Every structure is written in structure tokens, then in C-alpha cells.
């Protein structure tokens, strides 16, 4: 099909785009393909309930994959393991192609010595880093003789060549021996493109209608198994059962195998359900729903694209009939809602968990994403990460990110061009829903600007975006367990707040005022009264009170502040606020329940906002500040007098946040010089070592312990200006 010619009814399957790419002596990402009729020559780079229409016999090793959330992994060849382990993200999966052909003398079995050691070494290294290894077994296409001009022709000719298939089964058994020696769970993902070609060749029939050399291959272990594509699936499963029951076997659901590409078709009349039903029916016949020779397949993989959408657009592959841009608003097609409906139907009709694999890494967040080689944009990764619970609900248990071809976005510095920010100029790409949307500067050399390490890291840390566009750090208060208030200045310079109660967050509500700096908030014990204090445009301290049902008027408390305030309340009717004066010293002002007193000098040689907390059930106040030497300092009021200053070290790049869940212990949170959140627990005049919490942030943090709990609520401003929330335990 000529480039750009639409075929909206019968989508042309992917074509072979050259041989496998080579990194050192490892073939990494072979079998790259074109989609939707675009032919481009490239060298490729390197516990849910089961709903089934028929009984399934699942291998026991698959149970090891069960979790109560979506998990993430990366395409990761041996040389990239260091990036994964140093990223600070607890990735669950790591995947690698095994390719090169079973009878070519250059397949995966030759990449390390003795023969086959590469796979064993990969498994062992993955386990050592606490990752589950995933091996994509992509051997048929590159085997000899591979007769035919199209990729599908070469796959099917090899599948029907007795000599080739004899070598193929022997090669697969070699992999099984390596996995058996490993003895831990390993996922083997078999021939992703082949199943799509077979489904198209079957034209609505099942896998038993297609020929393949199985028993006819002469390989003893598969004797008696029918010479069909169905028999091919059964044979692979039998070999797994014979030699490596620890292997978790994955078959592949092609997004285009039904003849309609669910991932690129723009037609609103495409039915995700019927398309998924056709694919599920074919795969079920290939060993998902019954296998007279042993267990069935354990997983179904699918892939959304092998290039970033921005790359496809640059090739002219967007027109009224198909596009590789998925609409994140789920208005136009293709989009995420339709894809998740397709996945959910596959999950229902196949009866096994789903995994989406080789997901493009591109984003529309960092300036580095300027639609040049290695820095192409896409909407898929940001949507998948932000909607992880939706993916999990649809039946997906894992998302595996990876660049499928040369020039695509990578999570590491594959382009070796270091930190890139496009000279500060955002990219306008209206076809990709981006009107200068990628405005954030990156501090990482990663080709994606650090998107994967930052946002997947936040997901695993339990951090949740609460939206908004903040120009200050946050403040927070909690009047009762299960009730939280978060405060910040919006882009209009006015304080806004958002509340949590009855298990859900409210929208943003405007408090009003013309103020500056980080707001502070505090609940009076046993009351629903919240006191909010902020530095005004006149540098004075301003106060406003929430009575539990309404806001009282703003009042000026005077002073000449050079910081935002902090506030504590040790008893109902009592509020103490701390600020930094023009002399660089901490001052306090006390509300007695009737009136505010005068300013009292506390002392110190301080920079930034002082932060304080009252230990529950006491009159002890812990004051924490950032010293002019960037160390963390602590001072305690025992109810009658101040103690001396304690220096707890560190190299701070923010004012501290502080919380206390019980008498005698407080928790301090600061940003280090790396922009990452760090924690230190303080008891009296001693403290624990600094421990990393994670994330990448752009403001002073805020923290509060909900009354009568050990739940610490942390708030921060993300690089995109939104408010983020994380819950930790004391």
C-alpha cells in the first residue's frame, strides 16, 4: 500500500522493517513494524477474579504476579540495569527480546557462553535487583529460510517448514532449561506479531484451520500434536510443562489482528467489544481455553504502538482514516476509553490477566519533548500513569514501557545528548493536542526529561495529584481523623483551599485576599475552627478564621515579615504563630482566646519559613528552621521556656515541614539539594538518619498528622504546579 493511503476497513498488517538492531552483541528490539499502511524501513533498537466462558487451567507460577494494583516495568537490556536500580522507582518488571533466528548462528543462544547463558544471566540479574524478568521470544521471523516478501509471509512459511520448526522447538527447550535452572517465576512472551498474522490468515476461523509443522517437525517432545497453529500453541505449552513449570506463558492479542486496528482507527463506529471478541475467540482456540497436552496460557499481552505518535505524525501518518494520537479527553477516536473497553472484553472472554507491553515512552510535559529524534511526544504514557486504577479495573496487571524502534523516546539518555530543554521553547503540535503544553524544564539527561522516573516513582510512593496551579507552597490542617484541609495561593495570588472528608476530595474553593508567600493553617484541638495565616502584599501578617461553617473577615496582625508564617494550637482557643522578621530572627505572636498579644523574639539565625508543631496532648512546641548554613535546626518549648538549638545537619533546599502524631516524637520533611523529599524523625534532642521519601518537587513541603492517628499527610507542589498528596505513617 502506498504511504498515506487509507484502508479503513481491512487494515494492512505491520510490515517487516529490516533486521534486528544490535547493541554490542545483543539483538535488542527486533521485528519492528509499520502500522496502518505506512511502510518505513528502519533498523530497530535495542489478585483479580477470573471471569471465563470456559474452564481454564492456569499454571501455578502465574499466582506470583498477583498484586492489588497496576505494576510497571521497562524494556531493559543488560547495560541498562544500572539506570533502573538507581532510578529510585521500585519497578516490578524488566523485559528483553530474545531474537536472531533459531538456525542462523547469531540468535540469542549465542550472545553469551555457554549456549543459552544470556537468558539465564538476564533472569539472575533481574532477580538480584528484585524485578520479575520478562523475555519476549521473537524467533520465527528471523529464522531461515523466511520465504516471502512480507513479514507475515515469512512468518507463516517458517511455521510450515519442518526443518525450521525442528530447530525452533529445540531452541525453545533450551530457553526452558535456562528458566528451570533459574527456578523462580519468569514470563515468556511468545511471538507477539505472529498471532496477529495468524488471526488475519484465519479470516474468522479458529487456529485449527491453519497449518503448521508441529508433529511434522520431527521434534520428539511434540510428537502426536496436530500440525496446525492450534497445535503450535499446545506444543509450546507442553514444552513449558515438561521442562520449566516456573515459566509464566504469555500469548499476544494484536490490536490489528481482527482486521481493524483499535489503536489507530478514527471511526466512531468501531466496536471495541466485537473487535475484542474476534481476537479472544481466535486466541482461545490457540490454547487459552483448553489444552489436551497440559496447562493453558497464563497471560495475554497486547501492544498499543511501536513508535511514539509524534514520530508517526512526522512521517505523514495521520489522516481522516487513522492516526496514532490517542485523544486524552476521550472525545475523538482513537482514545483511551475505547482501548480500555477492548482490554476489558479480552479479559472477560479469555479469562486471564492482561499486560500492555512496549508502550511508547513519549510525554507532553518537559521542554525536552520537541518532536525530534529521541524526543518524540505521545499521550499514552502520561494517561496510563495518571489513570492506573482505570487500567487495573479493565483487567491490566502491568504496563511495560519501551521504545520499539530507533529514534523513539527513551527513559534513559539513549541519544547521549544530556539535559535538553529546547532553548526554553515549548512545542506547538495541534495534531497531538499540544498547544505549547510541554513547558516544564528538565534537570535530567533522560530523553523523556525524567518523566518515567518522576511520575512512576510518584505512583509507587502513593502520591496523588490534587490538581490546581499553585504559585506558593502548600499549608495544611487536620481537625479530625479523615478530615484534611489543604491551602495554597493560586495563579491569581489569592488563597484557595481544598478539603478531604467522607473519603473524597472537594474541588478548589476561593478564600480571597491579596496575599504573598506560603500560607499556614492550624486546627484548634477538639474544634472545627481553622486559623489561616499568610504574609500580605504589605509584608504584614494577615489572619482569617474558618468557624466550621463560614469564613470570618481578614484581619491584619501587623509586623514586617520576610517569610511565610507557621501556626500551632496546643489547646482550644489558643494559637501561636511564628514568622521571620526583617532581622533574620524568628518572632512569635500568641492568641489567648480573646486577643492577639504582641510580638515576642524567639531568636535564631534563620532563612526561609519557620515551621512548628504542638506535640499531641502536651504544651510542648517543636520549632524547626533552615539555618543560613542550610542545616536543619530544632528548638523546643517545654510549656514554660525554650531549650537550646539542636543542629541536625542536612543540606536543605527548602524550609522544613513538621508533624507530630504522639508526645515525644516529631517528623521533619525537607527538600534536599536534589529536589527530592527527605525525612528525619526527632525525639528530644536526638534524631534518626535522613531517609529518602522521593518525588521531585518545587516548593516547601507541608505536613500534618491527623488527630488520634499515625497518618501523616504530606503536601507538595509538583513541577507542573499542581498540588500533590502523600500519606505516610509515623
What domain range includes position 634?
Answer: 465-652
Shared domain for 497 and 399, answered yes or no, is no
- CA triple 207-213-214, angle to 5 deg: 80
With a cut of 90, say whether residue 486 has pLDDT above it. yes
Task: Please report whether residue 27 resides in a domain.
Answer: yes
Cell numbers representing residue 414 in the block = 539513549
Shared domain for 275 and 412, answered yes or no, is yes
Shared domain for 423 and 469, answered yes or no, is no
261: domain CATH number? 3.20.20.80
484: domain CATH number? 2.120.10.70
Task: Please report whether residue 326 resides in a domain.
Answer: yes
With a cut of 70, say whether residue 16 has pLDDT above it. no
Q: Which of 652, 669, 702 marks a domain boundary?
A: 652
With a cut of 70, say whether residue 1 has pLDDT above it. no
With a cut of 60, say whether residue 36 has pLDDT above it. no
Task: Please report whether residue 273 resides in a domain.
Answer: yes
For residue 655, what pLDDT is reported? Answer: 95
- Report the pLDDT averaged over residues 291-310: 97
- Report the pLDDT averaged over residues 17-29: 33
Shared domain for 412 and 482, answered yes or no, is no
Write down the pTM of the prediction: 0.77
For residue 520, what pLDDT is reported? Answer: 96
Q: Which of 431, 446, 461 marks a domain boundary?
A: 461
Helices (H), 77-148: 81-86, 117-128
With a cut of 70, say whether residue 238 has pLDDT above it. yes
- CA triple 635-640-643, angle to 5 deg: 25
Task: Please report whether residue 513 resides in a domain.
Answer: yes
Task: Please report whether residue 558 resides in a domain.
Answer: yes
Shared domain for 454 and 469, answered yes or no, is no
With a cut of 60, say whether residue 18 has pLDDT above it. no
Share of the chain above pLDDT 70, in %: 92
Whole-angstrom distance, CA of residue 481 vs CA of residue 186: 43
Shared domain for 484 and 446, answered yes or no, is no
Q: Which residue has the higher pLDDT, 184 or 693?
A: 184
For residue 707, what pLDDT is reported? Answer: 94
CB-CB contact of 127 with 182 (8 Å): yes
- Report the pLDDT averaged over residues 682-693: 88
Say if strands 464-465 and 186-190 run parallel, antiparallel, or are unpaired: unpaired
Nearest Cα to Cα of residue 432 among 340, 384, 385, 362: 362
Task: Please report whether residue 677 resides in a domain.
Answer: no
With a cut of 50, say whether residue 153 has pLDDT above it. yes
Q: Which residue has the higher pLDDT, 26 or 197?
A: 197
Instruction: Kindly list the distances between the CA atom of residue 302 and the CA atoms of 35, 134, 219, 284, in Å, as whole numbers in the listed order.
Output: 15, 14, 30, 15
Shared domain for 548 and 406, answered yes or no, is no
Shared domain for 524 and 607, answered yes or no, is yes
For residue 720, what pLDDT is reported? Answer: 77
Mean pLDDT score across all residues of the chain: 90
- Report the pLDDT averaged over residues 494-513: 93
Model pLDDT for residues 100-134, shown as the tens digit of each residue: 999 999 999 999 999 999 999 999 999 999 999 99
Q: Which of 652, 673, 697 marks a domain boundary?
A: 652
Residue 527 CB-density burial (10 A; 0-12 exposed, 13-18 middle, 19+ buried): middle
Task: Please report whether residue 496 resides in a domain.
Answer: yes
Whole-angstrom distance, CA of residue 249 vs CA of residue 355: 12
| Confidence band for 57, pLDDT divided at 50, 70 and 90 | low
Shared domain for 544 and 396, answered yes or no, is no
Residues 6+ apart with CB under 8 A from 414: 45, 374, 403, 447
Cell numbers representing residue 289 in the block = 481455553
Strands (E), 99-232: 132-137, 186-190
Three-class SS string for 339-375? HHHHHHHHHHHHCCCEEEEEECCCCCCECCCCCCCCC
User: Which has the minimum average pLDDT: 47-51, 110-114, 182-186, 697-701?
Assistant: 47-51
CB-CB contact of 237 with 296 (8 Å): yes
Whole-angstrom distance, CA of residue 6 vs CA of residue 129: 46
Residues 6+ apart with CB under 8 A from 406: 21, 42, 43, 44, 45
With a cut of 60, say whether residue 165 has pLDDT above it. yes
With a cut of 70, say whether residue 611 has pLDDT above it. yes
CB-CB contact of 167 with 102 (8 Å): yes
Shared domain for 491 and 386, answered yes or no, is no
Whole-angstrom distance, CA of residue 661 vs CA of residue 151: 63
Residue 630 CB-density burial (10 A; 0-12 exposed, 13-18 middle, 19+ buried): middle
Share of the chain above pLDDT 90, in %: 80
Instruction: Kindly list the distances between the CA atom of residue 601 and the CA atoms of 256, 566, 578, in Å, as whole numbers in the listed order.
Output: 72, 15, 10
- Report the pLDDT averaged over residues 354-361: 98
Shared domain for 441 and 490, answered yes or no, is no
Shared domain for 433 and 501, answered yes or no, is no
For residue 48, what pLDDT is reported? Answer: 33
- Report the pLDDT averaged over residues 226-232: 98
Number of domain units in the chain: 2
| Confidence band for 443, pLDDT divided at 50, 70 and 90 | confident
Task: Please report whether residue 346 resides in a domain.
Answer: yes
| Confidence band for 54, pLDDT divided at 50, 70 and 90 | very low
CB-CB contact of 573 with 593 (8 Å): yes
- Report the pLDDT averaged over residues 652-667: 95
| Confidence band for 730, pLDDT divided at 50, 70 and 90 | confident
With a cut of 50, say whether residue 31 has pLDDT above it. no
DSSP, collapsed to helix, strand or coil, labels residue 491 as coil
Model pLDDT for residues 387-420, shown as the tens digit of each residue: 998 999 999 999 999 999 999 999 999 999 999 9
- CA triple 537-539-544, angle to 5 deg: 75
For residue 58, what pLDDT is reported? Answer: 59
Amino acid at each position: 500500500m502506498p504511504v498515506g493511503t487509507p484502508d479503513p476497513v481491512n487494515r494492512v498488517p505491520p510490515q517487516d522493517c529490516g533486521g534486528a538492531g544490535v547493541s554490542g552483541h545483543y539483538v535488542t528490539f527486533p521485528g519492528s513494524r509499520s502500522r496502518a499502511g505506512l511502510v518505513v524501513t528502519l533498523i530497530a533498537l535495542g489478585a483479580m477474579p477470573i471471569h471465563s466462558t470456559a474452564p481454564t487451567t492456569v499454571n501455578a507460577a502465574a499466582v506470583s504476579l498477583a498484586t492489588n494494583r497496576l505494576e510497571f516495568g521497562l524494556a531493559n537490556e543488560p547495560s541498562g540495569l544500572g539506570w533502573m536500580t538507581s532510578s529510585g522507582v521500585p519497578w516490578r518488571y524488566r523485559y528483553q527480546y530474545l531474537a536472531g533466528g533459531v538456525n542462523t548462528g547469531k540468535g540469542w543462544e549465542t550472545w553469551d557462553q555457554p549456549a543459552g547463558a544470556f537468558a539465564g544471566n538476564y533472569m539472575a540479574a533481574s532477580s538480584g535487583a528484585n524485578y520479575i524478568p520478562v523475555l519476549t521470544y521473537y524467533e520465527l521471523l528471523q529464522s531461515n529460510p523466511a520465504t516471502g516478501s512480507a513479514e507475515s509471509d515469512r512468518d507463516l512459511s517458517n511455521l510450515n517448514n519442518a526443518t525450521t520448526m525442528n530447530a525452533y522447538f529445540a531452541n525453545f527447550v533450551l530457553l526452558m532449561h535456562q528458566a528451570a535452572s533459574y527456578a523462580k517465576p519468569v514470563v515468556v512472551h511468545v511471538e507477539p506479531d505472529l498471532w496477529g498474522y495468524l488471526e488475519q490468515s484465519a479470516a474468522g476461523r479458529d487456529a485449527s484451520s491453519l497449518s503448521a509443522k508441529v508433529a511434522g517437525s520431527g521434534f520428539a517432545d511434540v510428537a502426536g500434536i496436530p500440525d496446525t497453529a492450534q497445535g503450535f500453541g499446545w506444543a509450546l505449552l507442553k514444552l513449558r510443562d515438561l521442562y520449566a513449570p516456573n515459566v509464566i506463558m504469555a500469548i499476544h492479542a494484536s490490536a490489528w489482528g481482527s482486521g481493524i486496528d483499535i489503536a489507530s482507527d478514527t471511526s466512531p463506529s468501531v466496536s471495541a467489544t466485537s473487535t475484542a471478541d474476534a481476537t479472544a475467540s481466535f486466541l482461545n482456540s490457540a490454547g487459552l481455553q483448553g489444552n489436551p497436552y497440559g496447562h493453558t496460557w497464563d497471560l495475554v499481552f497486547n501492544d498499543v504502538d511501536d513508535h511514539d505518535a509524534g514520530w508517526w505524525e512526522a512521517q505523514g501518518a495521520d489522516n481522516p482514516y487513522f492516526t496514532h494520537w490517542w485523544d486524552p479527553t476521550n472525545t475523538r477516536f482513537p482514545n483511551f476509553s475505547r482501548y480500555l473497553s477492548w482490554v476489558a472484553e479480552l479479559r472477560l472472554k479469555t479469562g486471564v490477566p492482561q499486560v500492555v507491553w512496549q508502550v511508547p515512552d513519549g510525554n507532553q510535559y518537559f521542554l525536552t519533548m520537541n518532536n525530534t529524534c529521541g524526543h518524540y511526544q505521545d499521550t499514552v504514557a502520561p494517561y496510563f500513569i495518571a489513570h492506573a486504577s482505570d487500567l487495573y479495573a479493565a483487567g491490566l496487571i502491568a504496563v511495560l514501557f519501551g521504545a520499539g524502534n530507533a529514534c523513539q523516546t527513551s527513559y534513559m539518555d539513549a541519544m547521549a545528548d544530556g539535559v535538553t530543554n529546547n532553548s526554553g521553547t515549548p512545542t506547538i503540535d495541534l495534531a497531538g493536542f499540544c498547544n505549547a503544553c510541554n513547558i516544564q524544564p528538565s534537570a535530567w539527561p533522560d530523553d523523556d526529561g525524567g518523566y518515567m522516573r518522576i511520575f512512576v516513582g510518584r505512583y509507587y510512593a502513593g502520591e496523588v495529584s490534587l490538581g490546581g496551579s499553585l504559585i506558593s507552597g502548600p499549608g495544611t490542617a487536620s481537625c479530625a481523623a479523615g478530615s484534611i484541609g489543604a491551602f495554597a495561593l493560586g495563579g491569581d495570588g489569592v488563597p484557595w483551599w481544598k478539603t478531604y472528608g467522607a473519603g473524597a476530595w472537594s474541588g478548589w474553593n476561593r478564600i480571597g485576599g491579596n496575599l504573598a508567600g506560603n500560607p499556614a493553617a492550624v486546627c484548634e484541638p477538639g474544634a472545627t475552627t481553622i486559623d489561616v495565616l499568610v504574609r500580605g502584599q504589605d509584608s504584614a501578617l494577615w489572619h482569617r478564621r474558618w468557624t466550621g461553617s463560614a469564613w470570618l473577615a481578614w484581619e491584619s496582625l501587623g509586623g514586617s515579615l520576610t517569610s511565610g508564617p507557621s501556626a500551632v494550637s496546643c489547646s482550644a482557643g489558643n494559637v501561636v504563630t511564628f514568622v521571620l522578621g526583617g532581622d533574620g530572627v524568628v518572632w512569635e505572636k500568641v492568641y489567648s482566646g480573646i486577643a492577639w498579644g504582641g510580638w515576642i523574639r524567639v531568636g535564631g539565625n534563620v532563612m526561609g519559613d519557620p515551621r512548628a508543631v504542638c506535640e499531641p496532648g502536651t504544651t510542648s512546641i517543636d520549632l524547626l528552621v533552615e539555618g543560613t548554613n542550610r542545616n536543619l535546626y530544632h528548638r523546643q518549648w517545654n510549656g514554660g521556656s525554650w531549650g537550646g538549638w539542636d543542629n541536625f545537619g542536612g543540606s536543605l533546599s527548602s524550609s522544613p515541614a513538621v508533624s507530630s502524631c504522639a508526645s515525644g516524637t516529631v517528623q521533619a520533611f525537607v527538600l534536599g539539594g536534589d529536589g527530592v523529599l527527605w525525612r528525619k524523625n526527632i525525639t528530644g534532642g536526638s534524631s534518626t538518619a535522613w531517609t529518602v521519601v522521593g518525588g521531585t518537587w518545587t516548593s516547601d513541603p507541608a505536613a500534618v498528622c491527623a488527630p488520634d492517628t499515625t497518618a501523616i499527610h504530606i503536601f507538595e507542589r509538583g513541577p507542573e504546579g499542581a498540588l500533590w498528596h502523600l500519606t505516610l505513617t509515623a
